[in-house]
Structure 1
Amino acid sequence: MRLSFIKCHGSGNDFPLVDGRALDLSDAQWGQVARALSDRAGPVGGDGLLVLTAGDDDAAFGMRMFNSDGSEAETCLNGLRCVARAGFEALGLDRATVRLKTSVATVARATDLAPGVYTVTETAGPATLDVAAWPLDAGAAQVVAAPVPPLDPHRAFTAVAIPNPHLVSFVDRVDEDELVRLGTVCEAAPVWLPRRANVSFVEGRGEDRLFVRTFERGVGLTDSCGSAMAASTYAACLDGRVAFGRDVTVLNRGGLVRARAERDAMVTLSGNATWEWAGEATIDLIHARAGDLTIARHMDAEIAAWAAVADAAC
């Protein structure tokens, strides 16, 4: 099958984005498309696949996100901004409610973070601390700045679902080897964490600035994860590191977002939705391979505008 898509990114979290409103594919087929298009060894590559879907009585449009291993995530907030832009442009909107896999989110066109950087504000939640819903068997109903003994009895985590599950640990300095080790344990779907989880190390970098590094479920070590930045902001507020209702800058390897967590557990992110190029490829659904790539156009001005922001954030 032949598919058209846009290669895009939110804060460096990159994806092929497909308008799936008129496509009739099964969940398994979408998983194969995700594996084909997001394969870093293939012609496109990405952290996963974004799909713009039709709306319903409660939402103007919907979003599905498939990880690079073909599994479907509950949400992806960096990806949501990109899907929001696609939905806005397709339907002539500047704000909307979006249907996610297990929840809804609100999105709106926002003032650009910098000249030429298309920016979307998104609000998701409420974040929940009920680990039984994951499920996570850590010996407690909630985990806030406390160990998860099966993972590491000596490191403190906060367990937050928004709605996908995150284990957040605040560190003086990110040790990527340790992050990968812990993330790999979770990725194996042990009996105490059968649906896996995202794992993030978070550094405080002065007043109202955080740096987040994430081992993402179904992806691995990633330059950016929007829901991890949201979960980390909420966890920082729970831990007294950041005040509820206060804007913070959340940095990552891909750039930054502005974030704010409220006491009602709703979290708002404002960040980029950058188009890089538009193209199409042939998908072999049986073998999950993409080929015969053609690129219709490159969005050089958008790429350059975001590069200036990312360089300044480093």
Structure 2
Amino acid sequence: MVDLIHVHGSHNHFYILDQTELNTPLVHDELVALAQKFCQKNAFWPGADGILVVDEPTHSGPVGKMTVVNADGSIASMCGNGLRTVTRYLSEKTGQKEFTVETAEADLRVAQAADFAKGVPAFSVEISPVLFNKEAFPFDNLGFDNIVNEKLPAINDHLSFTAIAVPNPHLISFVDSDQDLKETLGEIGQRLNGKNQYFPDGVNVNFAKILGPNKLFVRTFERGVGFTNACGTGMSATSFAFALIHPEMIDLSQSISVFNPGGMVKTNVHPNAEHPWIELIGNATFLDKVSLDESDLHQAKLEESNFTITKTNEETAYQAFVESL
């Protein structure tokens, strides 16, 4: 029997699969099939936004390597909410409190942080690199080589946008109305993640409301997933855009509180460093452990009778934290 750990960061849900514990690691096509099957919700299975695959690092230094497989089977460059949960998993496995994790684009610094509340463990992760060039997305046919607070009539008739890759590609707009946060975001998100001439590989779309100094609400339409309760790289990229476009609303010596449909995280933006980056701090909640045969993983076999679940009580503490916000 092997275990999948059902986790969430700001109710961005995942299953952690530690391939170092398997007799035979899953190959790429098997991981794609696993995500497409195990991330779908049904009567006996809660589903998730993706699979977080832990492997041995490919070089010295990092404690482990994380690969993110979205619910549709596509591979994401990074996942901030997911990285926090993988950080907790590796921290508890190794006993280390501060280390690096290999991701597709970079080795990222991670660490245990102060609990957000009683029973709500929190972890800090580096979000980088920060890129603006159109090749990093890619985008085209918009008339710009980089987009910072620009009107894009081809996409929308009244909003301004900023494009930041961290390295996941994000399109960001600061909005005032709930209609934009819902209908407009959904329409743009669906259009730019279907066949289109502007973002041919798709893009994560983030709409934000400024709630006050150092305070945001962010909602994300995530590439490969759709609307999510939260997107860690999206909240990080939006925080960076906040610092660029509305510097009068930010004290960079203090954390930004970023609220989302699944809770709240904190970010620290470092825009003036030689290596610009964002620190993302938030919960890493373990919901339950799913035990099943390794052969079922290879076959992406999911039936009501082929697994057992051992639950934790951590969600009760997390919900109490959310209600206190």
Alignment deviations for residues 179-214 of structure 1 (CA, whole Å, 9 cap, x no partner): 111000111142321111000110011221100000
Tell me which residue corresponds to 1:262: 270
1:258 positional shift: 0.8
- d(CA) in 2 for partners of 1:151, 1:280: 46
Alignment deviations for residues 201-249 of structure 1 (CA, whole Å, 9 cap, x no partner): 1001122110000000000011111111001100100102434443110
Residue-pair matches, total: 310
Instruction: Report if the CA contact (8 A) 1:68-1:218 is conserved.
Output: yes
- CA gap of 1:309–1:293, structure 2 versus 1, over 3 A, is farther
Q: How does 1:145-224 map to 2 (within 5 A)?
A: 145-175=149-179, 176-224=182-230
Tell me which residue corresponds to 2:323: 311
1:296 positional shift: 4.0
What is the aligned counterpart of 1:297 among 293, 310, 320?
Answer: 310
1:151 positional shift: 2.0
2:101 pairs with 1:98: yes
- d(CA) in 1 for partners of 2:226, 2:242: 23
SS in 2 for 1:290: coil
1:294 positional shift: 3.1
Tell me which residue corresponds to 1:232: 238
2:126 pairs with 1:123: yes
Instruction: Report if the CA contact (8 A) 1:15-1:48 is conserved.
Output: yes
Alignment deviations for residues 118-141 of structure 1 (CA, whole Å, 9 cap, x no partner): 110111213111122211112111
- CA gap of 1:272–1:126, structure 2 versus 1, over 3 A, is same
1:147 positional shift: 2.4
2:261 pairs with 1:253: yes
Tell me which residue corresponds to 2:19: 20
- Segments of 5+ residues of structure 2 without an aligned counterpart are none
Kindly provide the amino acid, as one letter, of the partner of residue 43 in structure 1.
W
Tell me which residue corresponds to 2:138: 135
- d(CA) in 1 for partners of 2:292, 2:36: 13
1:4 positional shift: 2.0
What is the aligned counterpart of 1:51 among 50, 53, 68?
Answer: 53
- d(CA) in 2 for partners of 1:304, 1:126: 35
Alignment deviations for residues 21-70 of structure 1 (CA, whole Å, 9 cap, x no partner): 24422222111111111112362400111111212313111111111000
Q: State the TM-score, normalizing by the size of structure 2.
A: 0.90
- Indicate the percent of aligned positions where both proteins have the same amino acid: 32
- CA gap of 1:157–1:27, structure 2 versus 1, over 3 A, is same
- Segments of 5+ residues of structure 1 without an aligned counterpart are none
Instruction: Report if the CA contact (8 A) 1:258-1:271 is conserved.
Output: yes
1:91 positional shift: 1.8
Kindly provide the amino acid, as one letter, of the partner of residue 308 in structure 2.
I
- CA gap of 1:227–1:52, structure 2 versus 1, over 3 A, is same
2:282 pairs with 1:271: yes
2:94 pairs with 1:86: no
Instruction: Report if the CA contact (8 A) 1:151-1:185 is conserved.
Output: no
Instruction: Report if the CA contact (8 A) 1:147-1:155 is conserved.
Output: yes
- CA gap of 1:143–1:153, structure 2 versus 1, over 3 A, is farther
Q: State the TM-score, normalizing by the size of structure 1.
A: 0.93
Instruction: Report if the CA contact (8 A) 2:192-2:198 is conserved.
Output: no
1:3 positional shift: 5.0
